């Protein structure tokens, strides 16, 4: 099942309200700067004193979220909170985490929900309600993911007391929810990538309320079934698994990726290396003559691909999505491809390849993502050369698009557009769910996410490629834009991104994937 959007909201009402909501989200003087800014926030003037600590009350279904909140309160703010499953007798200050459909949730809504617009208007399963009073704070949501988002906002409400030492929570009533249904970040693990940097990016994505992480391990993950596809000193699945569990603990879909056409060398185009053929030339028949793409006319490629898919799905379990890549199959420029890899009917060959990949994942209830560029005609009168489109004769891969199942998510990438880019709408009009994919330029990010909002697309997949470290601010910016209403102006001070990044040092990063014992 895909991450759902709410559907076609009544657009006239929606866009009339958008500008007002965007302005309302900006804090007044003296109020905390919350990012992403909540849809509705009413500051009450009260405060919750945390000087002597307090309790986090959570049922077993929310115990891991409660543990994450407790550990982050201590790490970020030096505040120690005890997790319990029931509030003891007395008047102890407490933070309650509760799911809406539980008896406790219904009681909370009856008690405090009257003046708060619940449920959210859009993406209600990811929304949350947050109230901070004098002796109690409450986070209520329909899902565990919504509780995580509420806790991420709660952590930003901590500030010094106005008198004396210690910390407090600023009093507020918040109802919040995201605009785009899919908010993902794509992370590459190259042979020189430190796993601490991957952990840091996952933590940053969670801080800005992303709900998906795509991990592409390239030649950096050992394979038991296909050991030739990774370098000798690559990471093991046991080393990668904690990062997957971290993302899952923080409420994110963890999505494996394996390029399944171009990039078959296991490296990027500028490396001039081939992880397999530089060491094992006996596998040359699996690839086109230059090694860049899989040889689609050789059925043996599926033995390798399906073995690697199986291992990745097991490692990322439970995985609901898989990114198959398919970009930059440069052989189809008509210059480098092996004639023996074309087959008698090149278009039929690529259709067969797409069918095999889709069928493999459909039988496992896994939804496929793929890059867009091989499915645009290079000489299209309106869209040609607006992306690195490589569909030319004799393959004419754009002609395979009508037969592609409409549950395939098209990842439309562009790293230079500063105005509305027509390609995402082109694929959406053909019935595909579409995510826009900017890189590290702020204006490019604003333009692409604005396009996704304008046309009510599925969402965002921010890319980082070989600049994982310097992409942190742009990932933060993209997360804020994907969460907020249309016409939200991204005028948050740059230092605010740096403040969040500095809370995630490259060493001694929290291991929030660890499950603590459920509260008694």
In eight-state DSSP terms, residue 197 is H
Is there a contact between 159 and 49 (Cβ–Cβ < 8 Å)?
Answer: no
Burial of 65 (0-12, 13-18, 19+ CB in 10 A): buried
What's the average model confidence in pLDDT over 48-58?
A: 94
pLDDT digits (tens, 9 = 90+) for 430-474: 999 999 999 999 999 999 999 999 999 999 999 999 999 999 999
Position 102 scores a pLDDT of: 95
- Whole-angstrom distance between the N-terminal and C-terminal Cα of the chain? 35
Position 337 scores a pLDDT of: 64
pLDDT digits (tens, 9 = 90+) for 422-432: 999 999 999 99
Position 68 scores a pLDDT of: 97
Position 408 scores a pLDDT of: 98
What percent of the chain shows pLDDT beyond 70? 92
Q: Which of 115-119, 124-128, 503-507 has the highest mean pLDDT?
A: 124-128
Give CA–CA dist 469/384, Å, rounded.
33
Position 17 scores a pLDDT of: 36
Band of pLDDT at residue 20, cut at 50, 70 and 90: very low
Band of pLDDT at residue 516, cut at 50, 70 and 90: low
Cα–chain-centroid distance for residue 114? 33
Is residue 87 predicted with pLDDT exceeding 70?
Answer: yes
pLDDT digits (tens, 9 = 90+) for 264-321: 998 776 777 899 999 999 999 999 988 999 999 999 999 999 999 999 999 999 999 9
- Rounded mean pLDDT of the chain? 90
Q: What are phi and psi of 228, to 5 degrees?
A: -70, -15
pLDDT digits (tens, 9 = 90+) for 373-398: 999 998 888 888 776 778 888 889 99
Least confident of 178-182, 224-228, 510-514: 510-514
Band of pLDDT at residue 27, cut at 50, 70 and 90: low
Cis before 293? omega within 30: no
**Bridge partners of 106?**
none
Q: Which helix (H) or strand (E) holds 369?
A: strand 367-371
Domains and CATH numbers, the chain: 37-176 (3.30.379.10), 182-502 (3.20.20.80)
Is residue 40 predicted with pLDDT exceeding 80?
Answer: yes
The two structure tokens encoding residue 197: 């940097």
- What is the model's pTM? 0.93
């Amino acid at each position: 099942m895909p991450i759902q959007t709410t559907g076609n909201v009544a657009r006239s009402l929606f866009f009339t309200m958008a500008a007002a909501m965007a302005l309302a989200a900006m804090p007044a003087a003296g109020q905390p700067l919350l990012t992403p800014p909540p849809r509705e926030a009413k500051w009450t003037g009260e405060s919750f004193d945390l000087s002597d600590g307090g309790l986090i009350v959570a049922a077993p279904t929310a115990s891991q979220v409660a543990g994450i909140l407790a550990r982050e309160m201590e790490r970020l703010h030096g505040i120690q909170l005890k997790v319990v499953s029931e509030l003891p007798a007395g008047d102890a200050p407490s933070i309650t985490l509760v799911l809406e459909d539980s008896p406790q949730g219904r009681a909370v809504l009856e008690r405090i929900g009257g003046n708060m617009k619940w449920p959210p208007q859009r993406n209600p399963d990811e929304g949350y309600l947050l109230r901070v009073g004098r002796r109690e704070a409450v986070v209520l949501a329909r899902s565990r993911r919504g509780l995580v988002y509420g806790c991420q906002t709660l952590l930003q409400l901590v500030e010094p007391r106005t008198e004396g030492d210690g910390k407090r929570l600023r009093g507020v009533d918040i109802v919040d929810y995201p605009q785009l249904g899919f908010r993902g970040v794509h992370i590459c693990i190259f042979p020189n990538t430190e796993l601490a940097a991957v952990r840091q990016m996952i933590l940053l994505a969670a801080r800005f309320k992303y709900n998906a992480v795509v991990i592409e391990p390239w030649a950096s993950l050992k394979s038991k079934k296909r050991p030739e596809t990774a370098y000798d000193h690559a990471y093991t699945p046991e080393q990668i698994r904690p990062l997957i569990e971290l993302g899952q603990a923080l409420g994110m879909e963890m999505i494996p990726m394996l390029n399944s056409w171009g990039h078959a060398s296991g490296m990027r185009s500028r490396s001039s290396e081939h992880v397999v053929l530089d060491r094992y030339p006996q596998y040359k028949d699996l690839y086109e003559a230059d090694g860049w793409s899989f040889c689609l006319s050789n059925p043996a490629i599926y033995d390798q691909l399906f073995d690697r898919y199986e291992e990745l799905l097991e490692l990322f379990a439970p995985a609901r999505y898989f990114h198959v890549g398919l970009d930059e199959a440069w052989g189809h420029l008509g210059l480098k491809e092996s004639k023996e890899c074309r087959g008698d009917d090149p278009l039929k060959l690529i259709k067969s390849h797409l069918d095999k990949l889709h069928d493999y994942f459909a039988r496992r209830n896994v939804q496929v993502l793929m890059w867009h560029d091989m499915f645009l005609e290079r000489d299209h009168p309106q869209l040609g050369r607006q992306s690195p489109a490589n569909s030319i004769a004799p393959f004419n891969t754009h002609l395979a698009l009508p037969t592609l199942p409409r549950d395939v998510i098209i990842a439309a990438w562009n790293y230079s557009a500063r105005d509305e880019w027509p390609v995402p709408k082109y694929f959406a009009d053909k019935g595909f769910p579409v995510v826009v994919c900017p890189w590290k330029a702020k204006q490019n990010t604003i333009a692409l996410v604005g396009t996704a909002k304008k046309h009510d697309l599925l969402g965002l997949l921010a890319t980082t490629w070989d600049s994982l470290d310097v992409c942190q601010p742009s990932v933060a910016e993209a997360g804020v834009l994907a969460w907020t209403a249309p016409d939200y102006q991204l005028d948050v001070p740059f230092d605010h991104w740096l403040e969040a990044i500095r809370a995630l040092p490259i060493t001694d990063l929290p291991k929030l994937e660890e499950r603590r014992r459920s509260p008694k």
